[in-house]
Structure 1
Amino acid sequence: MKSRRFVFRDIEWWIATFVFLIIVLTNIVSGANYDQIDKFFGSVFMPIVIYIGFYVIHLVIIPNYLADKKVVRLILFSILCAVITGALSGVCAAGIGTDAERFFRFYFSMLALYPGYLLTAILLKKMLLPPTFKDYHLYNGVRLLTIVIFAVIFLIASQIFVNQGTLIILFIVLPGVIFFVLYNYYLLYKNRQSGNIKAYRWFLWGLISIIALVFFIIAAEQHIPEIMLLGLGMILLLIFVIFPLSNLIFKKYEDYIGKIDDLSLQVNQSSANLSFLRSQINPHFLFNALNTLYGAALMEGAEKTSDGIQKLGDMMRFMLHENHMDKIPLNREIDYLRNYLDLQMLRFKNESNLEVEIKLTDDVCEGSIAPMLLIPYVENAFKHGISTKSKSWIKINLRCLKGSVHLDVVNSIHPKKQTEDPRDESGIGLENVKNRLTYYYPDKHTLTIVANDTEHFVHLGVQLS
């Protein structure tokens, strides 16, 4: 399966935000060592100014250029942002006692570093994106490595406001935490989840023994016994903080993935159910139409039969092509309904006991609808509402309102022994339509069915998207 391309603009922003946050927090904590207030505020606000300048260019100016392709505006706003950022950061640099020459070397190196990264990213797109390679794995990995490399270069070049504490956190503490989290996931958490407790204990106590041994050797060489307490604190931090928190994250992640898998399974099952429902509905209409044509051919000449065949061809085309779509134009659904009614009238027009009243809107109905939602209730009226011995009636009224379609069907009811096809009384077609209405139009349809001893009434209203 082809991998997905990462959204690197977001990744770049999150990494930059994290790095600058560590820098600012470290400068605040270490600011107590400054003997002057302007040095403290300069060390804190200078990285904030640089970060705001990065944010404006990276997430405002460049995305706007990608949208409108206006090069002049890109250049003007970039220069303006660079000038304002340089002026404000220059004031902060003066506050911490940085001379002008050192500041300008730093700032112009920053101005060169960012375009250098953008150019590198463009070259990687040209070299590594499909179809050059079959998927995005290599491209994603190289881009992530490139971000890390440029972040390291930035930290090295930003010594005027990046202190030693920041470097320790980003280059020692953070990689160490990442290592222990990965160690926990692959060697501890996975083994415990799979029930391999013996391997889990070996890896846990093996790690603790190695850490204790390393700190013991360092304490012995440095002749500082207190280093052993630092090793003990690190072991306690792993056991009671890092491992439990990472286990909680792993569990939440697996629950989240499990929910996604369950939803995907439900979607696949719903699609299969819809296909099954359609396969149940379609043959019923085809056989009805064929029976109608058969009766018309016996009773009348070729002219009306050919007209019926043409209408049947339109209906079959509809079912072969459009009936398998999720949504179709409402006018196509109504055209199918007209063809069905015309075929039925060919069959029953000489029935003296039958009164049929049909009102179909002549307006062009706008909007889309799930196919085969209207016809089952009309078809049900012809199937159960006609008797060759008793007076029968069918009244159909279809109208389109703004954003909705409404169908009213009224038909007479006769004893079961007088229905045309007494073997077919399961009503599975109507149940399928109800299921599809619930699936496609939850809380956006009304279905009212009222029946007494002599008459059956259906009203269907659907709000169209």
Structure 2
Amino acid sequence: MENNNKKNINHLEFWISTTLYILALINICVRTAYSQPNVYSFVDVHIGYSVIANYFLPNLFKSSSIYISFLLINFCFIPQILKKNNLALNVILLVIVTAISILTWMVAITYSEAYRLLDYPNLSSAYDAFFGEAFGYVFLLYLLFCTYTYLNENGLSLLGKSYLLKNYSPNIVSELFIATKIWLVSLMIFGTILSARFDTEVLVVWLIAPPINIALAFYSIYFTIPNLKKKGKGFGKYFWTNVGLSTVSILILLFILATFMGGGPTVPITLILTSVVLVCITTPFAWYIYKHKFEKQTEIQMLKTELGKSDANLNFLKSQINPHFLFNALNTLFGTALQENAERTGEGIQKLGDMMRFMLHENTLDKISLAREVEYLNNYIDLQKLRISRSGDIKIETTIDDQVNNLQITPMLLIPFIENAFKHGISLQQPSHIKITLQTTNNILHFDVSNSIYIKADNDPEKLKSGIGLQNVKQRLALLYYGKHELIIHENAKEFFVHLTLELD
């Protein structure tokens, strides 16, 4: 699947680059046929002008060199270098292609801008200047090609390893990867506007301004807005916060532009445009994106929760015996036990009947009183004590406080831990123990269960069912008490221990 996706991306890049190249050729041909670009610059300095020699051929060679170089760098050299296949050969070929492109651009500039030769004291100085321009342009553009290709190959995995990004939404890695690719593509498109003279100032501005906007947008979506939302702040507070961040960003941009470009009208124009974009476009756009994402995520989470509840309840009910059948059968057995004066049997049947009634009527509710849940637990424990009453080596300790409060709890949430203790912690042949503690402090429930452990025989049908009940209750806790519970489970060779802290309503 990954290889197919990579092939599709390669095909898309090939056709996009080919389309741009064809459009550039069409533009060159149209301008050659219907106009004479730069002719007045030649006429003003009394130099002969030929639209073929001074425009068509230079721009044809420049566009072709960029197109061919991009294909070689993106599909051949850099992928092979990253895979370390024929490393030295591919590095040498990359250097050779770059050198050829620099010379091609130098010669093309010499012909297309021959009128500039008179601006220099001699031809040697003019050629040095043209070579410097060609070198700077080609080197920077091919560096972008290499960066783009490297990002295609390894960018997503590198961003995924970032410690800072791991603390936020998992989507931020792919979103930042896409934004960076779009920015690099726009840089390459700017760089391949072949019909115009290369403008260093425009490229420097485009190198710096978009990343600042991208950084502010991501910072707003994944840090500023969530933190303000937690404090109950709205758009007004967010807007003025971003105004402050934009001011700091503009000061940083001013320092960078002043360092690279010095003075000139480009600097203030760039600062003004960037300020407007940061405050008037990026800031509200980030707010819209966050709101859209938040609402969608909330809706998805609600659907997952409801689906999880249904799934958890369905799994739980599937694991239970049909309560209608048992309840009717127990009524018959209870009457028989009373007729035969079997008090212990009648007591056990009555407790089991209470449990079945609980399952039949209250298990379907979203919440029940904690006192009713505790009553169910006590009935279950009493029944288990009846079962093991003739074994003197089994010790059962219970400290379950009576609940006189009005706390509510999801039904059947605690019983799986006690069932697990009796299922795996009791042996009729060896000394065994179970200890159960249930206490409440204000609205916090503290529940502890510890039991001895015995390995079941391979032919025991209960052996394969181990852990199903605990997995179910873990799922229910995660869905119904998210952020309101702490479940700690420890196990060693001799003992199994569960501690549950639960915040109740």
TM-score (norm 1): 0.40
TM-score (norm 2): 0.37
